Structure 1
Amino acid sequence: MRVAIAAVVAAAAGAVAAAPGPNPDSAFEVDVAHYRYDDSAYDYCYAEYPSAQTYAPVADAQLELVQAVVRHGDRTPVNYIAPRAGDEPWACDAVENTYLHAAGEPAQNTTGAFRQVIAVPEWNRQFGFENQIWRGSCEEGELTDRGKSQHHALGSQLRQVYVDKLKYLPAELSSTDAVYLRTTHIWRTKNSAESFLAGLWPRRSIAPDTAIPLHTYPKRIETMYGNYDACPRLNSLLSEITATDGYQRFLKDQGPLMARLAHTFGVSGSHWEGSWDGYFDALHARKCHGMKLPCAPSQNGTATAECATADDVAQVARNANYEWAYKYRDGPQAGVLTRLTIGSFVGTLRDQLQARIAGKTGALKLALYSGHDSTVWPLLAVLGADNHSTLWPPYTSNLVFELWKKQDGRRVVRVIFNGQTLRLSESAKWCDMDACPVDTFFARINQFIPTDIAGECAATS
C-alpha cells in the first residue's frame, strides 16, 4: 500500500506548481476546494465552551451524571519540521503543581511541588545541533502555556454552569468521591486535566484527602485512541480503506499540493505519504501562534521564496477533514474502523452510565476523560455528527454527556459538543441529542462496542 501511495505523490511531483483543479471523477461531491464542509465559523485554535448565560437544564428533570471527554489544549507540533532561521520560540514555562509520593503510601505531598522545564543549552548552537529542535522551552507535542490557559478557562466555564447555576457540583471539593479522572499516559493530557480542574475548583487544597486520583491505562492497552500495537487489524483496515477507488482519486486530485508541501517542509517517508495528518499539524500549530509558515530549506545559504501560504493552510484543512470523515464515518469499512478504534472506550462510557442508573457509582457526579483529537473525532463518528461538527476537533474540544432523570422516572442523555447541542448529519438523525431516551442512546452506541476486542482485532477480515 505504501508503494502505491508513494507512486501517487511521486507522479504528482512534476506538477507541484499547479493548483488543484476540478476533477469530475473526484470522490468529492463538488470541486475539492469547496466540498461540503462549512468552515466559515471554524477556528481550530480555540474551541467554544458551554456558557452559563445560554445553558438551560432539561425540563422537569434532575441531573445525575456528567461525563466530559476533552481534547488537550494548544500544543507544539508532534510532526517535526526542522526549524528555519528566524522561527519564534515555543513557550511551555507555566508552573505545574505536581507532586509525587511513594507507592503504597498516603497520597500526600512528600516531595514538594515542581515544574517541568525543557532546556535548550547554549552549546547546542555552537556545535551545530540548532537545526534539530526549535528554540524555547517545549518538547515536541507538549502542552503550551496557552494550552494550559485554555483548559483553565474551560474548567471555569463549567464551574459557572454546574456549580454556580445548577448547584450540581460542590463549590469546594472536600472529597474526591464526586470525581473520576482518567487521562492517556501522555503528559499533555495530564497537564490539561490538571489545568481544567484548577479552573473548576480554583481553591482546592493539596491535603491528602483532596488529592484527585489520576487514572491512566498502560500504553499497550490504551483505549482512548486507536491502539495499533494491540489491534493489528486497524492497520489492515486502513490499508483497505485507502486502497479504495474513492480515496485514491482523492490522493491523485490533491497529489500536487502534497508533493509541493513535502518539498517545502523538507520531509519524506511513509508518514508523509497518503495522509494529510502531518501537514495539518505542522501548519496549524504555527498558525495558531501567528508564526511564520514553513519555507523550503535554504540552498547553499541562499534563502528560498518557496513557502507555505494561507491558501495552503485552508486547503490542507479541507483535505484533512475529508480524510478523517472518509476513514471513520463515510467510506467503506468506516464503521468497523471506528468500532475497533474507539469502541472499547465507548463501552467504558456506557458502563459508567449504566452503573449510575443502577445506583452503583456512589457519590460520583463528574467523570473527566482527557484525551486527544483521536479520542473526540471517532466519538463524533459513532454519534453520526454532521459535517460542521466533524471538522478537525479544535484544541480543548469538549464533548459532554449528561444523564438526566425525568420526573416520571424516564432517563435521557443530552450530548453537548463545544457548547452546543450536538448536531447530527441528515442521514443519521437517529435521536434528539438534547434529550435522547437512554435506551435509544444505548442501542445506537452498542453497535460500536466490541464484545471480544482481542478477537476482532486479530481477525483478518
Structure 2
Amino acid sequence: MHLFTISVVTVAAAAATAARLEATPNSAFDTDVANYTYDASSYSYCDPGYPSAQSYSEVPGAKLELLQLVVRHGDRTPVNLIANEATTWTCDGTEENIYLHAAGESEKNTTGSFKQIIEIPEWNGKFGFSNHLWRGSCESGELTDRGKHQHNHLGSQLRSIYVDKLGFLPRELNSTDEVYARTTMVWRTKNSAESLFGGLWPKRAITPAKAIPLHSYPERIETMYGNTARCPKLSSLMAQMVDSAGYQKFLRDQGPLMTRLSGIFGVHGSGWDDGWDHYFDVLNARQCHGMDLPCSSSDVPGSTQISGQQCATADDVAQVSHNANYEFAYKYRDHPLAQTYTRLNIGSFVGTLREQMESHIAGKAGNLKFALYSGHDSTIWPLLVLLGADDKSILWPPYASNLALELWKKHDGGRVVRVIFNGQVLRLKENWCDMNACPLEKFFARINDYIPSDITAECNAA
C-alpha cells in the first residue's frame, strides 16, 4: 500500500500553500465574514514560542507581585479516530510512576510505586476491539513523550526568568504555599502541569510533604472551557452561528474538500459534517510527528476522474488549517453573537483570574506568587479573543501554548498588567492598551465585559 510520506519540508509547504490561498482575490475563502486574514508566517502548530531570559526585561520602575500562567497541554495523540487507521503511537518514552498515601499519616504509609502502562493487544481483535484503534501504547488524546518534554522545557525557561534572573520564585520549592495549580479533569492537562513543574523545580523530593497540590473542578462544573452541559445557551448560540448565511456559504465553498477527506478517513456524522476541527486534529497531530497522512482503502466519493486508493496531502493539511482558523475567528470573534458566546464560554474562568488578582492586592492571598492553570486550546483561544489579539496571535493555539499575566506594582503605588503569549508581549488587533504595562483599572474594565454576574441565569436565559 502506497502512503504519502510527509517530511520536514511539509511545514514550509503548508505555510506556502496557506499564503497562496490568502493572496488569491477570488479564492474559496472570499465569504461574507469581514475582517479575517490568515498569516501563517512564523507560525507552527506543533511548537509554541517559549519565553526567554535573554529577551525578557522587567517593567521599568515596578516590582513583580504575581504571575498567572494559563497553558495548553503539550503534544498529544489525536482525539478523533478514523476508520482507516494505520499509524503507531507510542507514549512510553517517559515513564510515569504513581503512588498513593493516606492523607495526614506517615510518609511510609503508601501503596508503593506503580508504573502506568497502556496496553493495546495484538492487531486482530480476537478477544476484544484492538482493531478499532491504532497500534502502540497510547490512548486517544494522551500526552505524548514529546508533549511532556515541551512542558518540561517551558518550565526550565520559566526558571531561567523567574528564579535565576528575577529571583521572584524560590530556587527550591520548600513550601507549596507560594504556588497554586489547577488542571482540568483530563490526564493530558495533569501530566503537562507535572512536566512543567519538573522543569521549573527539578529534582524535587518525592514525599507527601513536598507534593504540589493539583486542583481540579469536577467535569460537570468545569469553567476552563465551554461547559455546554451546564450552559445550554452555548449550544443555542452555536447553532445560530452555524446556520447563518455566512457560515453556510463557507461550508458550501469547502464542501468538495470535506467530502473527499471524509471518504479518505471513512467518517461522517456529527462533528465531521459541520466543521473542520476534527479534520484539523487528525491531520495536524500526524504532521507534527512526521507520520504518513491517512489513506483510503478504496475509491473515494467526490474524486473526479480518480480511482483507487487516495491519500491526504500536504496541501490538504494547509487548506484544512486555513479553514479551521477561519471557522474559529468567525464563531468567537466576527459573528454578531460571538462576544456573547465567548462570554459564556470562558467568562467564569476570567472572573477567577480577576478575583485572584484582587485577593492578592487586598493582602488575602497569603504567600502566593505563581498560579498555573493547565487547560486546552479551548481555554487559551477565547482568552486571546477577549483581549483583542491580532489575527496572527489568534491562529489555533499550538501545543504547549503559554499565556502569562504578570501583575506589577509601580513605585508610585499604581499597578499594571503585562500579558505575554508564547514568549512575546501580546500583539493586539486594535491598540486599546499597551500589553507590556496595561494599567490595572483599564485591564479590568476590558475583561469585566466578559465576566457574567450570574452565569447560571445567563446560561439558561431564552
Normalised TM-score (structure 1): 0.90
- Native 8 Å contact 2:152 2:199 kept in 1: yes
CA distance in 2, matches of 1:402, 1:123: 50
Aligned pair partner of 1:383 in 387, 394, 418: 387
| Alpha carbons of structure 1 residues 430 and 82: separation in structure 2 relative to 1, 3 Å | same
Give 1:100 shift.
2.0
CA distance in 2, matches of 1:416, 1:24: 31
- In structure 2, the residue matched to 1:176 is 176
Per-residue Cα deviation, 1:330-376 (whole angstroms, up to 9, x for no partner): 11210000000000000000000011111111110100000000000
Q: What letter matches 2:418 in structure 1?
A: R
Q: What letter matches 1:27 in structure 2?
A: D
SS of the residue aligned with 1:451?
coil
- In structure 1, the residue matched to 2:82 is 81
Per-residue Cα deviation, 1:86-119 (whole angstroms, up to 9, x for no partner): x333334421243223466578871223332110
SS of the residue aligned with 1:292?
coil
Give 1:325 shift.
1.0
CA distance in 2, matches of 1:37, 1:22: 13
Identify unmatched segments of 5+ residues in structure 1.
1-18
Q: What letter matches 1:167 in structure 2?
A: G
- In structure 2, the residue matched to 1:437 is 439
SS of the residue aligned with 2:101?
coil
Per-residue Cα deviation, 1:220-276 (whole angstroms, up to 9, x for no partner): 000000001010110000011111111111111111111111111100112111111
Asked whether 1:357 is paired with 2:361, we answer yes
Give 1:316 shift.
0.6
Identify unmatched segments of 5+ residues in structure 2.
1-20, 300-306
Alignment of 1:112-151 (within 5 A): 112-122=112-122, 124=124, 129-151=129-151
CA distance in 1, matches of 2:275, 2:102: 43
- In structure 1, the residue matched to 2:68 is 67
Per-residue Cα deviation, 1:18-51 (whole angstroms, up to 9, x for no partner): x997359622559xxxx62111211000001100
- In structure 2, the residue matched to 1:307 is 311
Normalised TM-score (structure 2): 0.89
Alignment of 1:11-22 (within 5 A): 22=27
- Native 8 Å contact 2:37 2:391 kept in 1: yes
Alignment of 1:33-432 (within 5 A): 36-85=37-86, 87-102=87-102, 110-122=110-122, 124=124, 129-298=129-298, 304-426=308-430, 429-432=431-434
- Native 8 Å contact 2:85 2:133 kept in 1: no
| Alpha carbons of structure 1 residues 83 and 128: separation in structure 2 relative to 1, 3 Å | farther
| Alpha carbons of structure 1 residues 394 and 107: separation in structure 2 relative to 1, 3 Å | farther
Give 1:68 shift.
0.3
- In structure 2, the residue matched to 1:11 is none
SS of the residue aligned with 1:341?
helix
Q: What letter matches 1:145 in structure 2?
A: D
| Alpha carbons of structure 1 residues 56 and 263: separation in structure 2 relative to 1, 3 Å | same
Report the more deviating stretch, 56-65 or 107-116: 107-116
Q: What letter matches 1:39 in structure 2?
A: A
| Alpha carbons of structure 1 residues 458 and 107: separation in structure 2 relative to 1, 3 Å | farther
Give 1:385 shift.
0.5
Q: What letter matches 1:52 in structure 2?
A: A
- In structure 1, the residue matched to 2:5 is none
Give the root-mean-square deviation of aligned CA atoms: 2.1
SS of the residue aligned with 1:432?
coil
SS of the residue aligned with 2:235?
helix
SS of the residue aligned with 1:400?
strand
- Native 8 Å contact 1:107 1:211 kept in 2: no
CA distance in 1, matches of 2:426, 2:154: 18
| Alpha carbons of structure 1 residues 28 and 308: separation in structure 2 relative to 1, 3 Å | farther
Q: What letter matches 2:47 in structure 1?
A: Y
